[in-house]
Structure formats: structure tokens, C-alpha cells
Structure 1
């Protein structure tokens, strides 16, 4: 790991500024400030002014220039933040998301130029990645990757490191018609296609992820070391249908201390896209990868997804139930558009007076163990409950 210069990881190294500056176009005109959508006329002059400050210095910007760049960054982020939160997310113009990303970029660069500790620069990059849109060939992802080696490796607090989680038994079966999901070890592509993908039958795959680095490397300590300083969106609450459920942005280290992929490439490099995804119609770039990390007792209510899903279990165990799309009427989906893919039934404690036909729905179940991958066909209803501290990776593909 590179020397940091302070306990918090300082940015006063000329070599670091040279590395960061090399991520940007060499000439000012190369930083085009192109926006994919209309924004208010007052914004572009601010962007151009920030660009001029960045390129005006022959070398590393001085303290006054860095301070001016920081002020412009604050204005750009504050102004675009109001636009990002003025209505439904789908109605936010991409141009405003790019303005926010540029504001985060200029702010992070100002932090490095001023020689300050790097934690705030990394957080600005993460906020731009989460709320902004890609600019300059995804420069924020490249910038945060350059900064992270200069940060000290975080460690979990003693409470998080020493925490032991008592495994819980799977919930009792409230209805009949249950069968176990079949297990299969490293089937050929043809066998998987003909017997499971085409007929849309769930199956647990074994041995497929034995060679993934995550199977040997991943632990709570490892997450803190690699990504403790990174900011991520965290879901707070046992299940997303609860009234008290919410989302919050916090660092990975804080999340682990308090409550227990694209933005953190070090973790993404430890997994592999299952070969069976090549049987789909889309390209590899169309595959959506999500990581699910949480304590025992965390529940994903009975719901369905619009794509095929491989759920790969890395740490801990999960109890999973699957219901066929043919039973959708017996599962009582919410009527609202937002939750139309989610059942109203509490699988663990169903209200059979309110939802009497739930007893007619047959289901398959399994306890997904570390090293196993569950194939969930498109539109299959699935209920997931973590039995202990758990880390899973899902691959959505078409």
C-alpha cells in the first residue's frame, strides 16, 4: 500500500496529483463538458469556469485556486441536487445527473489539489457514481480507484469483529405442497439449457463457483480492508415492504459496525459471470450484477424479477422459497404499480383469512449454502431469508 502521509490518508504527494491529472484530457478543450440533455443557461458558465481553474495552473493548483474550485463544486452540486430531488427519479434529465457528476469530480480534484485527507474526495466520487451519470469515460470510477490505494486500510470495530451470529432454523412451512429444489453439479451448457433454462425449472448448481477468489478471500475483515471508506446505499429495515424501511448512504465500515459492485471493482474482480449466461440473448455488458450483504434475519419479501437470475451464495446461508408464475393469482400481488411484483402475503405468517388461496400455491424450497448458485427463472416468485450474516451476488440476464 502506498504511503499516506497521515493517519487519514493525505493527498499532499506530487506523484498522486500527477497520477490523478493523467486521468483527464491533456488540453482544456479536450474536457468537452458535453451534456446529454438541456440544463439551465447559468450552469454551463460555471462548468467552464471550473474547467479553466483546473487547467489554468501549469502544475498542481495552488491553495487559492483549489479553494475557488471547491466553491464552484459546491454550487454545482447543490444546484443540481435540487433538480435530482424535485420529482420522480425516472423524470430527472440525464444532463442534470451529469452536472452533478462534474460537481463531484471538481470537488474531489480540489480536495487532492489542496493536499487534504482523501476520505472526502473518495466520498465525492462515490456520490457522483451513485447519483450522477457517467462523464469523461466514467472518470469518477477511475479516479476513486487511483485514490483508494493511498487510504489507510480500515478495520472493523471490536464489536463487529467479535460478533457471533446464532444460526436460525428456517421458518416453519405454513402450507403444504412443498418440494425440494433439485441440486446439480457442474452441468454442461447443453444439459442446463435443455433441462432447466428452456423448461424454466429452478435448480441449485454446485461446484460452479469453487474457483472464484471470493470463496477464499471474502470476510467482514476483508470488506473493511478493501472498501471500508467507500460510500454505498444501505437498506434499513427487515424488509422493503415495512413502513419503517428506508435507505441511507453510509460507508461500508460504518455499515458493518452498526448493522452487522460497480463502485468497488476490487470486490467485483473476485467473482466471475457464470458461463451459463452465454445461453441468453443479451451481451455480457447487459448482465446486471448486484451484491447483497446483511445480517441474519434480513428478509426479501415474496417477489418476482423481470430477468433470469443466478443467485450465488458466498458467505452464510439463506432459506429460499420459489413459486411458479402460474400461481401468481394465489400469491396476491400488490395492486399498486410500484409494488406490483411483490406479494401481499407474509410467507412466514400468512393471513389465511385475508389471503385464503395462498394455501393452493405449491412451492419449492432450499437452504442455499456457501458455494452454491440458485437458478431462479424469470418471473418466478421468490422469498429469501438470511439465516446468518450473509453475502450473496446475483446476476440478472436475459
Structure 2
């Protein structure tokens, strides 16, 4: 069955019209045979007048498979930082040609959406980030039920925070765990919309953590975002999920799954513990990025706005980020749910017993809420500050400040790392 003419025209309009315009430029060297495969796929795509016929679509699909399989081996041959950008671009082209072949052949669109997501996650941008533009078109043409993914559970409740969290959710309703007590002498200070100068002089320069209030009240996410909203906007999208309570656990792992499957398995039914910790979510799903704003205080940093890393943290009650430190300043913005957060100064690093291994050198060996003081006796010397971060609050975590984070409810946070 051929693709509907309107959909194919909409998809084809995302690409250059002529073969010479589809440059296939690569940022590095790859084998000549790979370049020939790319050129052959380009020729099939651009050589057909109108929609490719079934035979041409099948050839394009096979070429996409070969390009993805070959480059996938290169992507997984060693440490990710050593993977050449050219091979990530080849993988993105393989995903692009595969997705286009699915559309041209009139196949169901969900596999094409997944191919786009795989290219966005594992590949590098090609043709002015065409995969991000393509997936938005495809998602709009999916049947409504497929856009959301499988239906979620049965119990209707709201995340902590009431109306600010959005519409009613279908999530589990078991008893929440006890909320840690924040003693007055340990409580972090709170500020209501401080001026740039006041924040700079009293918190940024002296590197003191503080909870900021009122600075994200105008963000659209505060009225729109909810578990149900994510199913509507991104239910069919494939994302990486961290499986396990915390990344230091032996059983911790990562896997790819759709947002709706993640919500059903880890949020609604909670068959096990899983967390969506995504450094690319807002690039992968721009609709979500439009609902947040970079805090104005980031302009006090040394880098440009493009240098700011925006991360998404979405998971059930009980997920934990063990005591660790990050190499940049951090604004942690709480959209819905509550988090218990404990902070320790970098001056106390020796009392926090960082792991000796290079890969975990920024993480403490100590279980903050149940420390083994026989094994880690100096931990009792470390002074800390803490807070229950509520929806609409933003925590400033200075660079290298140790922080422990525990979700007290179904929670969605956005962090901004800046220099």
C-alpha cells in the first residue's frame, strides 16, 4: 500500500528537492563503501517522480537497515566519547532513509517514529536536524490512540501540588513513605524573586545554596504538565529509561522504551523502579521545551545560552540520586511532586567518602539516610542543609556542592547546568 499523497508530500517537503541539495556531508572519515551506500539511497529517494514505488521503497528500506547495522557496530565499539561524529551522522541517515521507506510503503507510522527517535538519541544532526522535524509530522498523522500509547491504570489521583500539577492522573494510590523532617537549623533559606544583583552578590559569588520562589510561576508547564499530558504529547516516543532505585545499585541498568510504556510500568503499576533521566528530551520533543524558560540568573554565568544543559527528571516516589556533586552550577526546578534534598559543602568532601573508582569519584559511598558510622565515622562531622522542594520552587546548587535527592511523590523536575 502506498503512502497517502498528502503525507508523502508533507514529508518530502522537509528535504531538498534536488539530489545535489541533499549533500550527505559527514564530519569525518568513513569507508568509501559507506559513502556509496549513502549516495545510492539518496539517488533512490530523489530519482523517483512523486512517491517511490513499492520496489524503490523496499530498496531504500534495505539500505537504511544496512547503514544502521554497520554504524551501530561503530557506535558500540568503545567509549561513547571516542565515537566519531561522522559515524553518528551515518546512523542518523540510516534512520532517516528507513523512516522515509516506511512512509513511502504506506506502513504503520509507529516504527517510523521509533526510527526517528533512535536517530535523535544515538545519531548526530543531519540536514538541519531533519529527524526532529520529520517526527513531528509523523506524530501528527498517527491515530490518536497510538499517539498516547497504551491506556494507563485505573485509580484517578493528582500528583502532590494540586491544580498546579495539571489535570487528574491515572496513577497508583498506595501509601506514601514518611516525609523526612527538615530541622529549622538545617533548613535552606528561601527567597522570593531576588534581583540579579542580590542573587549574584549573596549566593552566586559566595557559592551558597538557596531556594528561589516565584521565578517559574509563569512557565506554561506549571499549568499544563501532568502524567496524562506526557501521554498525550509524547506517549509514542522512544526514550532511555534508568532501571533501578539509584545508579549505584548493582542491578541498575538502562533501556529504551516508549514514554507510555514507562508510565504504565513504573508510574502506574510500579512493577519495579524506573526513572526517566534524559539529557536530550527537550531537543527530542520540542513541544516540552516550549513550556519552560531558562532562569534569568543564568545570564550571570560565563557561557552562552547554547552552552546551558537542560535535563529532565521524571519518576515515581522513592527514586534516589545518591549523594554526588556536579561540575557546573545547577538550578533544579520542581514542576510537580516533592523532593527531599540534602546539601553538603565541597569543604566536607573528605568526610563524605567519595568512591575511589574514577567512574564514581563524584559520588559518596555513604547512604545518607541510613549511614554506616562504623565504616564511615567521619560522616557525622559533615554539616548539611536540607529542604523539601515543592512545585514552583527552584533550588540553586552551587558547582561541586554535594547533593542527595529523593522523590517523595511522582515527580517531574527540570535542571539547568551552567558555568
SS at 1:338 equivalent: helix
- Tell me the CA shift for residue 165 of structure 1: 5.1
Hey, which bits of structure 1, 4+ residues long, moved more than 3 A? 170-173
Q: Encode CA deviations 1:74-120: one digit per residue, 9 max, x unaligned.
A: 01101111111111111111111111010000001111111111111
Residue 2 of structure 2 contacts residue 53 of structure 2 at CA under 8 Å; is this kept in 1? no
Residue 164, structure 1, aligned to residue 201, structure 2: no
What SS does structure 1 have at the residue aligned with 2:373?
Answer: coil
Deviations 1:27-67, CA, capped at 9 Å, x for gaps = 11111111111112221111111000000101111111111
TM-score, normalisation: structure 2: 0.90
Does the C-alpha gap of structure 1 residues 11 and 190 become closer, same or farther in structure 2, counting only changes over 3 Å? farther
Contact 1:177 1:363 in 2 (8 A): no
* Mapping 1:58-207, distance limit 5 Å: 58-151=49-142, 152=144, 153-154=147-148, 156-159=151-154, 161-164=170-173, 166-171=175-180, 179-207=186-214
Gaps of 5+ in 2: 156-169, 268-281
CA contact (8 A) 1:178 1:362 kept: no
1:278 aligns with 2:299: yes
CA contact (8 A) 2:2 2:54 kept: no
Residue 356 in 1 paired to residue 377 in 2?
yes
| Other-structure match for 1:258 | 265
Q: Which of 235, 240, 252 is the matching residue for 2:242?
A: 235
CA separation of 1:341/1:57 partners in 2, compared to 1, >3 Å: closer, same or farther?
same
Q: Give the counterpart of 2:390 among 346, 369, 384.
A: 369
Contact persistence 1:289–1:393 (CA under 8 A): yes
Counterpart Cα distance in 1 of 2:252 and 2:293: 32
How many pairs does the alignment contain? Answer: 387
Structure 1 match to 2:46: 55
Checking the alignment, whether the CA contact within 8 Å between 1:180 and 1:366 is kept in structure 2 is yes
Structure 1 window deviating more from structure 2 (375-384 vs 163-172): it is 163-172
Instruction: Give the match for residue 337 of structure 1.
Output: 358
Match of 2:167 in 1: none
Of 13, 20, 31, 2:11 maps to 20
Unaligned 5+ segments in structure 1 are 1-9
| Deviation of the 1:22 alpha carbon | 1.2
Q: Aligned residue for 2:274?
A: none
Q: Partners of 1:170 and 1:322 in 2: how far apart?
A: 17
Q: CA RMSD in A?
A: 1.6
- Asked if the contact 1:97–1:131 (Cα under 8 Å) also holds between the matched residues in 2, the reply is yes
TM-score of the superposed pair, with normalisation by structure 1: 0.94
SS of residue matched to 1:208: coil
Structure 1 residues 339 and 99: alpha-carbon distance in aligned structure 2, compared to 1, 3 A threshold: same
- Give 3-state SS (helix, strand or coil) of 2:148's partner: coil
Q: Determine the structure 1 residue equivalent to 2:415.
A: 394
